[in-house]
Structure 1
Amino acid sequence: MQLIGHELVPYEPLFWRENADQIKADEQNLFKFNKAMIRAAQEKGAKFSVACENVSECIIANAAGANLLVMSRREFTPKAANLAQFYLFDAKVACIIGDEIELSEIAEYQADVAIFDNAIVWDRSKKETNGTF
């Protein structure tokens, strides 16, 4: 399992984006599934990860070039992980966690990546969402 945001593991932060204008080519962008934002990231040649809520979003985000498929609901993770394995997705299935103690839970869900919530740079005008979108 890959860890993003753990104090002992070097990582690249993910920057939460609310709209296509915020997408930057030199940062790892993270946003809710949105066709316009995916298109903007593609056009800018930006790295991006997508918060997905269903199978269709996972399939499209992977095919569009997302690095991570971040599950908005943990109970959906095993289904997404099986789908990714069966179809040999390039994207990895990820969950956001707040603490190391949650690693065993998401390992049972078969997530490829654990993203510690401190690895996400949220809009400073909003409170951190602690793993919810």
Structure 2
Amino acid sequence: MNKVNSSLVLLMFVVASVATLGSLFFSEVMEFVPCSMCWYQRIFMYPLVLIFLVNLLYPDDKLFKYSAPLVFVGLGFAIYHNLLMWGIIPESAVPCKQGVPCSTEYFEYFGFINIPFLSLVAYGLIAILLLSFKKSRA
């Protein structure tokens, strides 16, 4: 693996790690109860940390194949959740029927930065880095 590819994998690992640690901080330290959509996004983010770490230690040509499904499904959930938060998707079209509503906003900075937005940014960055990784390998 060349320096560009290993740098991209390292960046993907860092973004996935920060997102994972951030979600654990919000739920375990701040005691914010995650909604169903947040759980779905976590399910697809947490394994990425291990996939990128293993690829850093033992480079593999199939990183895109292993991680792309997790990244793009998680990105889909993040987009859907943000569309809900922005009022584009009605709350009646959301799978959060029990527990915390998916529209719950624990904090908001600058009028748009909230937990679902942070997830969207993390998945978006990883998707861009992953596509760059694939392109640099071609």
Q: Normalising by the residue count of structure 1, what TM-score does the alignment of the two structures yield?
A: 0.28
Name the one with the larger helix percent. Answer: 2
Greater RCO, 1 or 2 (C-alpha within 8 Å, sep 6+): 2
The structure richer in strand per residue is 1
Q: Could you state the TM-score of these two structures normalised by the residue count of structure 2? A: 0.27
